[in-house]
Amino acid sequence: MSASSGVPDGRRPTLADVAARAGVSTALVSIVMREAKGASAATRERVLQAARDIGYRPDARARLLRSQRSRLLGVQFGLQHPFHTDLVEGLYAAAEPAGYQIALSAVAAGRGEQRAVETLLDDRCEALILLGPQAPAARLAELAGQVPVVSVARRLRPSIPGLEVVRTADDKGARQAVDHLVELGHRDIAHIDGGRAPGAADRRRGYRTAMNRHGLAEHIRIVPGGLTEEDGADAARALSADRPRPTAVLAFNDRCATGVLDVFLRCGIAVPDDISVVGFDDSHLARLAHIDLTTVGQDIPRLAQLAVGRAIARLEADETADETVAVGEQVIAPHLVVRSTTAPPR
Amino acid sequence: MSASSGVPDGRRPTLADVAARAGVSTALVSIVMREAKGASAATRERVLQAARDIGYRPDARARLLRSQRSRLLGVQFGLQHPFHTDLVEGLYAAAEPAGYQIALSAVAAGRGEQRAVETLLDDRCEALILLGPQAPAARLAELAGQVPVVSVARRLRPSIPGLEVVRTADDKGARQAVDHLVELGHRDIAHIDGGRAPGAADRRRGYRTAMNRHGLAEHIRIVPGGLTEEDGADAARALSADRPRPTAVLAFNDRCATGVLDVFLRCGIAVPDDISVVGFDDSHLARLAHIDLTTVGQDIPRLAQLAVGRAIARLEADETADETVAVGEQVIAPHLVVRSTTAPPR
DNA sequence: ACATGAGGCTAGAACGTTTTACAATCGACG
DNA sequence: CGTCGATTGTAAAACGTTCTAGCCTCATGT
């Protein structure tokens, strides 16, 4: 029996209710609500008052069912990846001022990318922003055929039409990490890789070329890893049994590095005294003082800004049939953040 | 020029397209797509084939514009709270088998609860599941007047109609933590509280009564804190200057505890040798071996399951005008998880 | 032979918006 | 004094579904 809403029955108030109360047509109410021109200041105020009175809120679904534009950007992200949640925060910040909404769809245990993307598509998102997508390139190409797609942090053949890539120069990042370690005096530097994860191939390559460049070819050691703490832990266990043990490790990402730190800690291997550890991403995780991880920083706000920018550019271009948007790929530079998990070898 | 879609122009295929191709009415296609009864096996197959041919996917917006039920549960969560992301994972797992969809709306820097809830409402969610909402009770009551609301982890006057509460027995949790510390031999136990955060009052009270019960009334010390690492760090700095310094600290939650650990670490105060630290939530964070925090565990999958269950119960009850759902509040027991940040005092 | 009922299907009206096309009013200008 | 162009407003047709009512057809029971 809550009388907070102005309509008698339980229904949510609609345009028609507002129109009736203000004594105008629904079309006019629509004009006022959209802040379009075509209404006098006086009626505008009268309509707004009526809307306030009965607690009217436009129905987003109906609205975008009618108007072709939904101004909705679908975002797929990994719930448990700090790097992704940081990115999402940036995406909100970039999209809302530009007049676009974000629709979130999480990838989690029991909910794969396929499912995540499907729900976004069903919601009629105009473009898809995929954070570190793992789907096969063919699948992404297929998607890009239906709707503009921005892949963040995953490199892809730039020739796929309708597909934009925004990413950090992963190879360069790995190189920076190796340079830093070499500068500290390390020679035996291992890399725990990310397997087939987005960016893994580039980081692997960056590591390899940097090692070669420093004349450390024979010390190249790549341990299979992954992108979770568990993957890092497994790799670290393998590594700590190796002889000679490397004096430094570059992990695929911060989560992986955290797993590495854990294992070393429990085995009594001191970081950074016995071994140095470098992560990748500079997510929230790395900044926790208890972890305080030296890591390769990605410029997260920038990545988010660019991703939204590319998606929107694509949309507005499609609208005007303007073909001058063929950028395809934006690569931005990483920068090393030195914290306390790296030091000269003993 | 991508011919992947079966319709000539760029349009997304609709019911009508499928109907035309299969040579039936749109109503029948609708019946088939919804797996409703009223179509023969033969035509059913023919329609499905046509749908596949042209790559038809139902339009979620149009669908729920028409059908009164949207089967959509709106979830408000804090992007940066591991406890929340863990919960969201559980919510997906609970909702999808029940035939409900989850719509996510994040609270983040620059995007408050008000905004988060508004977008959910605009999307015509049938019910709202709010994770640790901080909004004033009056606001929540107002919301609950419009739509069933489930508050997770935030206690509220159970008398508010349309509002369900699912939470952990926070007071009991705090008591368990204090009991554990007392058992280890601690007497001087401080509490860094959560201020006005959800659950903070109960945890404060639980701490206080437990201390009293153990005859440690004069050692009660409550330091103002909050729910982020920064809040914990500030409190820890204050605490480490105090004389006598407490031998144990119960922090408001895991994030706060992490901040505490950081500061102690940097000040050269050893945990658990010089001081024991207990967190709250048992989120991902606490389990990171580098942190390995003794904490009060909340049964996250259970909380999620119950939250979805209550929301759905409410909806189905409203539907049948059945008034037997007045549960209002579900409180579930916490359990202490002992890890490596607690030990007997020196 | 005739009602009865069930299965299979369709026409057409919703749902709550936006959009298009057009009508009325009014001041100004020739 | 008629005509023009703004301005302010409206009626009605979309948008892509679901839902209600009802129409066939055919088998069944009497």
Instruction: Indicate which of B4, B14, B56, B61 best probes the interface with A, i.e. most A CBs within 10 Å of its own CB.
Output: B61
Strands, sheet with A149-152, edge to edge from the N-terminal-most edge strand: A329-332, A163-168, A149-152, A127-131, A72-78, A101-107, B101-107, B72-78, B127-131, B149-152, B163-168, B329-332
pLDDT band at A2 (very low <50, low <70, confident <90, very high): very low
Between A108 and A2, whose confidence is greater? A108
- Say if B270 is an interface residue toward chain A (CB within 8 Å): no
* Chain B residues 62 to 101 with C-beta below 7 Å from nucleic strand D: 62-63, 65-69
Checking if the pLDDT of A1 tops 70, the result is: no
Q: What is the mean pLDDT of residues A39-48?
A: 95
Distance CA B262, CA B78 (A): 22
Alpha carbons within 13 angstroms on the beta-carbon side of residue B326 total 7
CA of residue B6 to C1' of nucleotide C21, angstroms: 33
Q: Which residue is nearest to nucleotide D13 (CA to C1')?
A: A66
Whether the CB of A333 is less than 7 Å away from nucleic strand C comes out as no
Quick one: average pLDDT of A96-105? 92
The answer to whether the C-beta of A319 is closer than 7 A to strand C is no
Within 7 Å of a protein beta carbon, the nucleotides of strand C are: 7-12, 14-21
Q: What is the pLDDT of residue B159?
A: 79
Q: φ, ψ for residue A330 (rounded to 5)? A: -125, 125
- Which residue, B73, B145, B119, is CA-closest to B308? B73
Query: What average pLDDT does the segment B119-134 reach?
Result: 94
Distance of residue B133 Cα from the nearest chain A Cα, in angstroms: 18
**Contact across the interface for A61 and B289, Cβ inside 8 Å:** no
Bridge partners of B164, per DSSP, are B150
A224-233, B6-15, B194-203, B334-343: range with lowest mean pLDDT = B6-15
Task: Tell me the mean pLDDT in the region A301-307.
Answer: 97
The pLDDT of residue A4 is above 70: no
Q: Is A35 on the interface with B (CB under 8 A)?
A: no
Name the nearest CA neighbour of B296 among B265, B264, B251. B251
**Across B161-189, average pLDDT:** 97
Please, what is the average pLDDT of chain B?
A: 92
Which pLDDT value is given to residue B9?
61
Contact A122 B59 (CB under 8 A): yes
User: Which is nearest to B144 in space by CA: A103, B197, B133, B123?
Assistant: B133
Task: Give the percent of chain A with pLDDT over 70.
Answer: 94
> How many Å from the CA of A35 to C1' of C30?
36
Whether any strand D atom is under 7 angstroms from the Cβ of B340: the reply reads no
CB B239 within 8 A of CB B246: yes
A305 and B CB contact within 8 Å:
no
* Statement: residue B345 has pLDDT above 90: yes
Top-ranked range on mean pLDDT: pick from A118-122, A285-289, B157-161, B222-226: B222-226
Question: How close A226 comes to chain B (CA, Å)?
Answer: 16
A134–chain B nearest CA distance, Å: 19
Flag if A290 and B289 touch (Cβ within 8 Å). no
**B121 inside 8 A of chain A by CB:** yes
Would you call A267 an interface residue with chain B, using a CB distance cutoff of 8 Å? no
Chain A residues 161-190 with a CB less than 8 Å from chain B = 161
Q: Which nucleotide, over all strands, has the C1' atom closest to the CA of A34?
A: C18
Verify whether the Cβ–Cβ distance B104 to A109 is below 8 Å.
Answer: no
Domain architecture of chain B: domains with CATH: 15-58 (1.10.260.40), 72-169+300-333 (3.40.50.2300), 170-297 (3.40.50.2300)
| A105–B290 C-beta distance less than 8 A | no
Tokens of A277: 């550890």
Residue B1 clears pLDDT 50, i.e. is over it: no
Nearest Cα neighbor of B245 from B280, B274, B278, B224 is B274
Q: Which residues in chain A have their CB less than 8 angstroms from residue B60's CB?
A: 119, 122-124
User: CB-based contact (8 Å) between B65 and chain A?
Assistant: yes
Which nucleotide's C1' sits nearest to the alpha carbon of A27?
A: D10
Task: Give φ, ψ of A164 to 5 degrees.
Answer: -110, 150
Q: Tens digit of pLDDT for each residue in A16-43?
A: 999 999 999 999 999 999 999 989 999 9
Mind listing the pLDDT tens digit for each residue in B208-266? Answer: 999 999 999 999 999 999 999 889 999 999 999 888 999 999 999 999 999 999 889 87
- Give me the pLDDT at residue B267, please: 86
Chain B residues whose CB is inside 8 A of the A260 CB are none
* pLDDT higher than threshold 60 for residue B323: no
Mean pLDDT in chain A?
Answer: 92
B321 CB neighbour count, 10 Å cutoff: 6
Q: Which residues of A touch B265 (CB under 8 A)?
A: 289-290
Residue B2 pLDDT: 39
Give the per-residue pLDDT at B285: 87
- Partner A, chain B 77-106, Cβ-Cβ below 8 Å: 79-80, 85, 88-89, 92-93, 96, 101, 103-106
Distance B298 CA to C30 C1' (A): 83
Nucleotide nearest to B19 (CA to C1'): C10
Q: pLDDT value at position A318?
A: 63
Residue B25, C-beta contacts closer than 8 angstroms, at least 6 positions apart: B19
Average pLDDT over residues A199-228: 97
Spatial distance from the CA of A50 to the C1' of D8 (Å): 19
Q: What is the mean pLDDT of residues A225-244?
A: 93
Buried/exposed A289-328: b ≥16 CB within 10 Å, e otherwise: bbbbbbbbbbbbebbbbbbbbbbbbbbeebeeeeeeeeee
First to last CA, chain A: 75
- Please report the pLDDT score of residue A69 as a whole number: 82
pLDDT-derived band of residue A185, with 50, 70 and 90 as boundaries? very high
Mean pLDDT of A132-160: 93
Verify if strand D has an atom below 7 Å from the CB of A31: yes
What was the pLDDT predicted at B262?
A: 82
- Confidence grade of residue A3 (pLDDT, cut at 50, 70, 90): very low
Cα(B312)–Cα(B208) distance, integer angstroms = 37
Across the interface, whether the CB atoms of B121 and A57 are under 8 A apart is answered yes
- Block residue for tokens 């430094």: A248
CA–CA separation, A278 and A254 (whole Å): 8
